[in-house]
Amino acid sequence: MIRVILSGAAGRMGRAVGKLMAACDDMTIVGAVGRPGRGYLGMDYGELIGVGRIGVAISADLESVLDRGDTLVEFSTPDATVAHVQLAVSRGLSAVVGTTGLSPEQSQTLATATARIPCVVAPNLSVGAHLLTTIARMLSSALGEGFDVEVLETHHRFKQDAPSGTARAIINAITEGRARPEADQVVHGRHGRVGPRQAGEIGVHAIRAGDIVGDHTVMFGGLGERLEITHRAHSVETFAHGTLRAVRFLQGKPPGLYGMADIIKTVTSDE
């Protein structure tokens, strides 16, 4: 039985993961961590997510529950995630990080931490979104700068970071395909008299509306033709299922930084 501690347990993703995990026969929730000062602190986590009592009270203190678990699952804020993963390293727990909005410095800190624990870091834990990123890299390399690139991401009104973590991954993939630094290419939105589009630009646009789970489109526009690839998440459970897959993947793995590509390879080889 895999013993899991959920951080960001009361958030949109945390609740979705918790509901699926509560129904699993190979893992159990042994800790639930939420934000300080919230009214749900002290509540039974199972009652909060609607699955009945599970005997786990929601706490604001990760360190107080770390000794109960094998794996930490992170869907909290960037600052909290970095601090929590460092605590997981000190206790030898594996970690799954789905937190978005990490700065380059925070991402580097997490990468350094994986020298001591196995850790999956993925801004989007769906198979389809990972494949979209992979295809975007291939198309960017094949089409070159003769094709204009625009990245459009759409999410619910409550999302706090922009562009999304998945959009950032897509941008990174495109710049890798072109073998040029991101800073030389990316334009976030356009306003006013901006003039003609500059060669090599990567336009990035973020939309926030209603309860949209997450859509990502990459457009490659040439003269006389246009190629678009789109991934649409129909439910937050898409990412929750990916999270459980990541937790299972880490069992028995050596220390290191892993991503969705590693998880997909493992599933494919097993099948």
| Predicted TM-score of the model (pTM) | 0.83
Do the Cβ atoms of 153 and 166 come closer than 8 Å? yes
Summarize pLDDT for 40-69 with one digit per residue, the tens. 999 999 999 999 999 999 999 999 999 999
| Alpha-carbon gap, residue 7 to 30, rounded angstroms | 11
| pLDDT number for residue 268 | 43
**266: confidence class by pLDDT, cuts 50, 70, 90:** low
Averaged confidence pLDDT in the chain: 92
| Catalytic position from the list 84, 130, 156, 159 | 159
Q: Look up the CATH superfamily of 127-233.
A: Dihydrodipicolinate Reductase; domain 2 (3.30.360.10)
Tokens of 194: 């901006």
Single-letter code of the amino acid located at 230: T
| pLDDT number for residue 233 | 93
CB burial class (10 A; 0-12, 13-18, 19+) of residue 247?
buried
Where are the chain's structural domains?
2-121+236-270, 127-233
Do the Cβ atoms of 102 and 110 come closer than 8 Å? yes
The question of whether 155 is a catalytic residue gets the answer yes
| Catalytic position from the list 84, 130, 155, 216 | 155
The question of whether 159 is a catalytic residue gets the answer yes
- What's the chain's Rg over C-alpha atoms? 20
Q: CATH says 2-121+236-270 is which class?
A: alpha beta
| Alpha-carbon gap, residue 130 to 163, rounded angstroms | 16
Summarize pLDDT for 81-97 with one digit per residue, the tens. 999 999 999 999 999 99
**Better-scored residue on pLDDT, 199 or 41:** 41
pLDDT mean over 180-187: 77
Nearest to 100 by CA among 239, 253, 204, 232: 239
Do the Cβ atoms of 93 and 68 come closer than 8 Å? no
CA angle, 24 then 262 then 265, to 5°: 85
DSSP codes of every residue in 28-56 = EEEEEE--TT-TTTTSBHHHHHTS---S-
